Amino acid sequence: MNMWVTGANGFIGRHLVRVLADQGNRVHGIGHGAIGEAERRRIGLEHWLNGEIDAANLNALAERSELPSTIFHLAGGSSVGLSIEQPYEDFSRTVNSTVRLLEWMRRSASECRLIVASSAAVYGAHHSGKIPEHAELRPVSPYGHHKLMMEQLCKSYAACFAVESTVVRLFSVYGAFLRKQLLWDMCSRLQRGQRELVLGGTGDELRDWVHVNDVARLLSSFAARRQQEKFQAINGGCGEGTTVAEVADVVTKSWGGEAGVRFSGVVRPGDPFSLVADDRKVRALPFAWGVPLSQGIADYVRWFKEDAR
What is the contact surface with a second copy in residues (CB under 8 A)?
84, 87-88, 91, 95-96, 99-100, 103, 106, 139-142, 145-146, 148-149, 152-153, 155-157, 159-161
Min dist CB 172 to a second copy, Å, is: 22
CB of 122 to a second copy, least distance (A): 11
* 128 in Cβ contact with 122 (< 8 Å): no
Q: Which is nearer to a second copy, 98 or 166 (CB)?
A: 98
Going by C-alpha positions, the residue among 221, 236, 242, 223 that lies closest to residue 279 is: 236
Minimum separation from the CB atom of position 136 to a second copy (A): 10
Gap between the Cα atoms of 48 and 208, Å rounded = 32
Closest Cα to residue 9, out of 40, 53, 38? 40
Angle at 152 between CA 123 and CA 270, to 5 degrees: 25
- Residue 9 has, within 13 A of its CA and on its CB side, a CA count of 17
Least distance between a second copy and beta carbon 158 (Å): 11
Using the minimum distance from each CB to a second copy, give the nearer residue, 87 or 200.
87
C-alpha 261/C-alpha 248 separation (Å) is 7
* Choice between 148 and 275, CB closer to a second copy: 148
Q: Are strands 47-50 and 70-73 parallel, antiparallel or unpaired?
A: unpaired
As measured in angstroms, the least distance from the Cβ of 116 to a second copy is 16
Least spacing, CB of residue 99 vs a second copy, in Å = 5
Instruction: Kindly state the smallest distance separating residue 152's Cβ from a second copy, in Å.
Output: 6
137 within 8 A of 124, measured Cβ to Cβ: yes
Residue with Cβ nearer a second copy (138 or 305): 138
Question: Closest CB to a second copy among 55 and 288?
Answer: 55
Q: From CA 149, how far away is CA 167, in angstroms rounded?
A: 12
**Closest by Cα among 191, 212, 196 to 301:** 191
Question: First and final CA of the chain: distance in angstroms?
Answer: 34
Please identify, using beta-carbon distances, which residue of 114 and 215 lies nearer to a second copy: 114
Closer by beta carbon to a second copy, 139 or else 239:
139
Cite the DSSP H helix spans in 136-194: 142-161, 181-191
- Closer of 161 and 273 to a second copy (Cβ): 161
Nearest to 100 by CA among 90, 92, 112: 92
**At closest approach, how far in Å is the CB of 109 from a second copy?**
15
Residues 6 or more apart whose Cβ sits within 8 Å of residue 71 = 3, 4, 5, 6, 101, 105, 109, 112, 113, 114, 115
